[in-house]
Structure 1
Amino acid sequence: MHTYQLQLHAEYGPVVRFQLPGTETAVPIADPVLLEATAHLDKRPERLFSFLDPLFEAGNLQVLPAGEHAPLRRLLLSRLAGRPSHERHFAEFTALSLRMICAYALSGEAAHPDGAVTAFEEVLTEHLGRLYQVPLPGPEQEQRAERAGQALACLRTMVDRVVAAHRSGGRTDRSDLIGALVEAGEQPARIRDTVMMTMLAAHHTTGVAVSWALHLLGRHPETAERIGEELDRVLGDRAAPGYADLRRLPRLDMALKESMRLFPPGPYGARETTEALVVGDYGIPAGATVFYAIWAVHLNPAYWPEPTAFVPERFAPQEVARRPRLAYIPFGLGPRSCEGAALAMAGAELVLAVLLKRFRFRPVPGHEVTPVERFVLWAAEDIRMELGPRTR
């Protein structure tokens, strides 16, 4: 879908229409100025998001009606986007990042992940396939369905463990998402669903963003070295930044944003019109699916000269001020944009800071990196890099 939308806009312009099972009219938009006319849309197309239904007990949280979604969004933003919450939990985030580095980069004791990534992929692949693929007859289809059922049970067990651990700990910290949900009077099923949604949204998006950033910095060693020098200057001998240090790392911030422009973890989003809508010279009927063609927006040459080039300086404040506000939308836009955007950026910058201060990354010669969409935008054959110590 992500490459198809690029092709459509390259051939037909900023607003196009195409056929898609599950919707009568599908309209992707690739111009940030025209997107302004859609920024108020607060409904997601239920049919397109129905493959997520099995994950939730009390109803698919991705397609909640606006009246139910608004209070939940306010609660999520208060915990995931609030600076007091970030500052309070940043030490835990830092410790996790350092343990990860020890486990995977410094030959420490290997971690034993719970298999959330694999489980989510099993469930989503199976149920998305039911929407758009002809069912396979015989035992192969049954085996896939059985694997998806086992994966879903595994995910539910993980969620139950998270909630049970919170209860057994007797926490009262309102900066904690589960504690805030309990205090808001949410039912147990809705609490479990919210934890599941948070895991779904965050379980590999930050990792993907960090991976693409390292991929690009490995191909631009001079930029990586300037970031390393910035880290040395700000952090001194400290292994990781504090929360307040992130604002003193503009080169790191610009490089991450530029990598997310070129490789947005979510390459598109979707909304549904509840009434007829005029977008520039185009009329869009009620009930149409509007696609936010995020990757096409990020590569629109009218706003991004040499759009495929890696130029972090595009995100210097004076350059940002020259562009329309929706020219860069890696977390979507409007009332259904990602509530965890600020937390995701802080987490990605933390991991990159720890890595780039210690290591030098170079691409493995001859290895081709091809973006492919599998719920997020990642590399078809992985991103393979050579790792060496960085000398100061």
Structure 2
Amino acid sequence: MAAAGGLHTYQLRLHAEYGPVVRFQLPGVEWAVSVADPVLLEATARLDERPDPLFAFLDPLCEAGNIQVMPAAEHAPWRRLLLSVLAGRPSHERHFARFTALTTELADRWAERAERADREPVGLQKDLTALSLRMICAYALGGEVADPDGVIAAFEEVLTEHLGRLYETPGSDAQEGRAERAVQALAHLRATVDQVVTAHRATDRTGDTDRTGTARTGTARTGTARTDKSDLIGALVAAGERPARIRDTVMMTMLAAHHTTGVAVSWTLYLLGRHPEVAERVADELDRVLGDRAAPDYADLRRLTYLEMTLKEAMRLYPPGPYGARETVEPLRLGDHLIPAGATIFYPIWAVHMNPDYWPQPEKFLPERFAPDEVARRPRLAHIPFGFGPRSCEGAGLAMVEAELVLAVLLKRFRFRPAPGHQVTPIERFVLWAADDIRMNVSRRRPG
């Protein structure tokens, strides 16, 4: 796995050589089975347990027990609570103007940079993950974080250290130095989360404004009543969650939300920079739907069909989460194979998305694959960028709204081209990250 560059690329090699169902060796796991066929995956869709060892790298982020491996009985009500906040379309629409303002601020900074004679390439991941973090904090956590770039850098320090333990022999000097940096980074993250929670409580006490900027009365919260259905911390408090679990949930939400949207948009712009003919078609659609407006309204997203197809194809080629895993609690039949209880079942999302039986010429970037008639021909689990089943991403709907908005604003104003000489290498960092960012030259676009 280390030689392949991580589990995500190792799984691609496994399935290319051995087919859709592969048993492979994994330290500490007796039965590890990877399934890259979307039809066979249907048999696993109800699995609701995760293997503890594979998610142990996230243990340091949690004080009340790793949220990612929460037992099914405990996970189900927690998931329902998150969905009640993150999946509500009315709340997406209510916060859309704030999302637009945050995106426009970034676009304005890029426009200033594009005018400089010595303009440097933009680091897409750095800027877009910071934007995504601001969005989730504005939407669900009660406001802004003081230093989004510092929070993201701290997450990367922690993940680099603890993911690295999956593939490295302990004891090297480099690892010791990295471990010390990870301890400091984790302390910074916990302090930031405490500030977010404390600020949220202060706002609740004063009842001054909600996150849309609208004045609230001092009776906005009485008992378990909540006026803002996108208030995640308020929902956790109302549900009686203990303080440590609230902090854990805020930490994991910040991690997952900034990664998912920022990474998905980064890879999409990277692909559009390499395929200017597709970028031109997206721009033509934006001009047709938006006219002279610089940003869409919430209702406009439904009309930006080619933009949505492009985003989905980008997430096929570069899924934000390159794999997932479940654990069987009883024997499971997968086609001709009988998998015993206690086995680890891998969802190699990247390999599923590159399965040539369902994606002809899978390495090509073709948004037309997501035209309605093409989608109808494929099994439903052929495209699973947010996972599936009872452990799928609770914020998938919110992430799509954010990503489509950000892409619409940026592609209406700019053209993107790869920075000459810059090598883009996908690596595993909880999500499908790029080793040295994705550096692009950004220039103003003239509509029409």
Q: TM bucket by the smaller chain?
A: over 0.9
Q: What is the distance in 2 between the residues matched to 1:141 and 1:217?
A: 37
Give the residue type in structure 2 aligned to 1:323: R
CA positional deviation for 1:366: 4.2
SS in 1 for 2:33: strand
User: In the TM superposition, what whole-angstrom CA distance separates every residue of 1:334-382 from its partner, at most 9, and x where no partner exists?
Assistant: 1000001111111111111111001111223443333222221122333
Give the residue type in structure 2 aligned to 1:387: V
CA positional deviation for 1:219: 1.8
- Any residues of structure 2 matched to 1:62-73 within 5 Å, and which? 62-73=68-79
SS in 2 for 1:321: helix
Contact 1:116 1:203 in 2 (8 A): no
- Any residues of structure 2 matched to 1:274-353 within 5 Å, and which? 274-353=329-408
Contact 1:26 1:290 in 2 (8 A): yes
Matched, 1:372 2:430: no
CA positional deviation for 1:390: 1.1
Residue 182 of structure 2 is matched in structure 1 by: 148
Residue 127 of structure 1 is matched in structure 2 by: 162
Note the residue ranges of structure 1 that are not aligned, 5 or more in a row: none
- Any residues of structure 2 matched to 1:171-182 within 5 Å, and which? 172=221, 173-182=228-237
Q: What is the distance in 2 between the residues matched to 1:107 and 1:89?
A: 28
Note the residue ranges of structure 2 that are not aligned, 5 or more in a row: 1-6, 115-126, 131-146, 208-220, 222-227
The range that moved more, 81-90 or 27-36, is: 81-90
Q: What is the distance in 1 between the residues matched to 2:307 and 2:358?
A: 22
Residue 51 of structure 1 is matched in structure 2 by: 57
Matched, 1:261 2:267: no
TM norm structure 1: 0.95
The range that moved more, 230-239 or 161-170, is: 230-239
Matched, 1:216 2:216: no
Residue 233 of structure 1 is matched in structure 2 by: 288
SS in 2 for 1:16: strand
Indicate which of 246, 260, 264 corresponds to 1:191.
246
Contact 1:22 1:48 in 2 (8 A): no
Matched, 1:246 2:280: no
Residue 157 of structure 1 is matched in structure 2 by: 191
User: In the TM superposition, what whole-angstrom CA distance separates every residue of 1:306-347 from its partner, at most 9, and x where no partner exists?
Assistant: 111111011111111111000000001110000011111111
Q: What is the distance in 2 between the residues matched to 1:122 and 1:307?
A: 33
CA positional deviation for 1:146: 2.2
Give the residue type in structure 2 aligned to 1:152: L
The range that moved more, 371-380 or 49-58, is: 371-380
Q: What is the distance in 2 between the residues matched to 1:360 and 1:28?
A: 39
CA positional deviation for 1:8: 0.8
How many aligned residue pairs are there?
Answer: 390
Indicate which of 18, 21, 35 corresponds to 1:29.
35
Contact 1:86 1:343 in 2 (8 A): yes
Q: What is the distance in 2 between the residues matched to 1:16 and 1:99?
A: 47
The range that moved more, 113-122 or 312-321, is: 113-122
SS in 2 for 1:99: helix
SS in 1 for 2:386: coil
Contact 2:84 2:229 in 1 (8 A): no
Q: What is the distance in 2 between the residues matched to 1:362 and 1:124?
A: 30
TM norm structure 2: 0.83
SS in 2 for 1:43: coil
The range that moved more, 201-210 or 244-253, is: 201-210
The range that moved more, 261-270 or 83-92, is: 83-92
Residue 124 of structure 2 is matched in structure 1 by: none
Residue 21 of structure 2 is matched in structure 1 by: 15
Indicate which of 200, 203, 213 corresponds to 1:169.
203
Q: 1:366 to 1:147 in 2, by over 3 A?
A: closer
CA positional deviation for 1:304: 0.7
Contact 2:197 2:233 in 1 (8 A): yes
Q: What is the distance in 2 between the residues matched to 1:304 and 1:38?
A: 21
SS in 2 for 1:332: coil
Q: What is the distance in 2 between the residues matched to 1:85 and 1:275?
A: 39
Identity across the alignment (%): 75
CA RMSD of aligned residues (A): 1.8
Q: What is the distance in 1 between the residues matched to 2:9 and 2:424?
A: 15
Indicate which of 84, 92, 99 corresponds to 1:93.
99
The range that moved more, 259-268 or 168-177, is: 168-177
CA positional deviation for 1:129: 3.3
Q: What is the distance in 1 between the residues matched to 2:179 and 2:421?
A: 38
Q: What is the distance in 1 between the residues matched to 2:298 and 2:361?
A: 34
Indicate which of 112, 117, 121 corresponds to 1:106.
112
Give the residue type in structure 2 aligned to 1:123: V
Q: What is the distance in 1 between the residues matched to 2:191 and 2:241?
A: 20
CA positional deviation for 1:188: 1.4
Residue 361 of structure 1 is matched in structure 2 by: 416
Contact 1:9 1:30 in 2 (8 A): yes
Give the residue type in structure 2 aligned to 1:207: G
Contact 1:269 1:332 in 2 (8 A): yes
